[in-house]
Amino acid sequence: MEGSAVLGFLFCLVTGIQAAGTAQQGTGLVGDGSLTLSLLQVEAAQTTPPFYLGFATAAPQIEGANATDGRGPSIWDTYEAIPGNIDNGDTSAVADDFYHLYLNDIAAMRLLGVKRFRMSIAWPRIFPSGDGQVNQQGLDFYARVLEALLVAGIEPHVTLYHWDLPQALQDRFGGWNSDQIVPIFAQYAATVFQALGDYTTHWTTVNEPWTFCFLGYGQGSGAPGINDKVQAWNCVHNVLQAHAAAVKQFRALVPGGKISINLNCDWAQPLTGAPSDADAAQRKMEFMLGAFADPIFKGDFPASVKQRISFLPQITPQLAADLNGSVDYFALNHYTSTFVANQQGAMGLQGACDYTETQVDVNGKLIGDQAESDWLKVTPWGFRLMLNWVNNRYQPNEIVVTENGMSMKGESAMPMPQALQDTQRVNFCRDYVAAATDAVNLDKVPMTGYFAWSLLDNFEWGNGYSKRFGLVHVDFKTQQRYYKASAKFLVNLFNCTVLDPTYTYPSD
């Protein structure tokens, strides 16, 4: 669609919604009543945080259309098809149908005044077999999405890889377990940069390699479903090589752009005041975050990792040189915190680590309020500590929080009007943003951006559709969307320009 046509669509959509009047339940409309904010929340919204707001998504979680317009199968398509892997037998085949409804979702953000949107490119939509023949229909789709975002005044932040490895590469040589993936990923990156690099200057190479390496290859609880610690650490090494190779392409093809890699980490709080527990907590941070960030910023794996993982691949001088300067900002995904205790001989997800983790203290008290996801406890104090740890260890010029959010306890079982009043999520956003604000204002952490996860309720990996992280509620039967209170709260908090909170998606 040409830019003028996109602009015309968005103009008609916005003006049509503004003229729609008072919303009514059951029609896909959200009225002002469902977005009521408490006095405390309104007062909190009067102080604008010292960093920008964005909403985040991922292609395999929202796009659907998995067999449409030449898209090839991914390892998650294969993993989802195995009975028992996904709650309720759900699949991502339709998800939020963003592939067909993207203009509506962009209009939704435009109406909220959102200025930044994080998204990912589906590798199997560009190269159905992982490499070889380019699927032009896939590139054209993302060009349309990016063009529409720009027309709507929304800056795209684009990730090349969010876990959807083409199944063909897993079949051919074991995917991320083999260094054969490095030149293939570089080719994929170059293709995307050449075709889409003019649309945005903000990119990341790979999202949460800790998760897909250690859950996907090391534990088997995600695609491709392999339980092998050696393969997991090979994955780490190959991700680092692939990241460096992609950044070389980026420097040549997107001059003036910024690029990073999305790294996730929980805050590790010592279980007791014992020095051994403090050391263990530090070790947990080095295993989870340092395994990726240390090679980039310091030229090698942390000593604690090298001492304990006998089969750890080496960071060669050439790779260290390639990784040096390969990120222009530190992209951090953070959700929760955990207690850590020293225990010699303990084995963890990443192999021999000499520590154990728990989410209850020595008195049996939870580290924070329980979210719907069993792993997620609400710990805003840990967010501030996490930001300081990153800043003190790596001293980046800029930190962007590329994911932060929660699944509200009991939300999936709630009637929709109750779910729209997502008070626990509103409080989560308020407290985590406040913690980050203190990190910036009081601790001088150079955090510049905050992306809330997620724009939409979506396919939540192994949990299917049973867990909801969205700021916008999705009725997966009808694909109708409804703003939640948390969406309205965030745009008020960041002083976004709300054109009209009374809003509906078109039936198309």
Q: Which residues on adjacent β-strands are paired with residue 450?
A: 53, 401
**Exposed, middle or buried, 40 (CB in 10 Å: 0-12/13-18/19+)?**
exposed
CA distances from 90 to 122, 391, 411, 416, 466 (A): 20, 40, 18, 20, 9
Residue 342 backbone zone (phi > 0: left; psi -120 to 50: alpha; other: beta):
beta
To which H or E segment does residue 29 belong?
Answer: strand 29-30
- Residue matched to tokens 């150079």: 446
403 included as an active-site residue: yes
Q: Which two tokens stand for residue 489?
A: 């709260």
Give the three-state DSSP class for 322: helix
What single DSSP character describes residue 466? S
Cα(372)–Cα(468) distance, rounded to whole angstroms?
A: 8
Cα(355)–Cα(155) distance, rounded to whole angstroms?
A: 42
- Chain-centre distance of CA 391, in angstroms? 20
User: Is the N-terminal amide bond of 221 cis, ω within 30° of 0?
Assistant: no
Catalytic residue, from 208, 372, 403, 411: name it: 403
| Domains along the sequence of the chain with CATH | 3-504 (3.20.20.80)
**Exposed, middle or buried, 83 (CB in 10 Å: 0-12/13-18/19+)?**
exposed
Q: What's the angle, vertex CA 398, arms to CA 395 and CA 403, rounded to 5?
A: 110
Instruction: Find out whether 246 and 159 touch, Cβ atoms under 8 Å.
Output: no
Cα(136)–Cα(131) distance, rounded to whole angstroms?
A: 13
pLDDT in tens, the chain (508 residues): 444 444 444 444 443 333 222 222 222 323 222 333 343 443 444 579 999 999 999 999 999 999 999 999 999 999 999 999 999 999 999 999 999 999 999 999 999 999 999 999 999 999 999 999 999 999 999 999 999 999 999 999 999 999 999 999 999 999 999 999 999 999 999 999 999 999 999 999 999 999 999 999 999 999 999 999 999 999 999 999 999 999 999 999 999 999 999 999 999 999 999 999 999 999 999 999 999 999 999 999 999 999 999 999 999 999 999 999 999 999 999 999 999 999 999 999 999 999 999 999 999 999 999 999 999 999 999 999 999 999 999 999 999 999 999 999 999 999 999 999 999 999 999 999 999 999 999 999 999 999 999 999 999 999 999 999 999 999 999 999 999 999 999 999 999 876 655 555 433 3
Q: Which residues on adjacent β-strands are paired with residue 342?
A: 355
Closest CA to 78 of 99, 59, 93: 93
pTM, rounded to two decimals: 0.92
Q: Which two tokens stand for residue 306?
A: 């090298």
**Exposed, middle or buried, 352 (CB in 10 Å: 0-12/13-18/19+)?**
middle
To which H or E segment does residue 332 belong?
Answer: strand 330-333
Instruction: Find out whether 433 and 426 touch, Cβ atoms under 8 Å.
Output: no
Cα(259)–Cα(390) distance, rounded to whole angstroms?
A: 18
Angle at which helices 485-493 and 423-441 cross, to 10°:
20
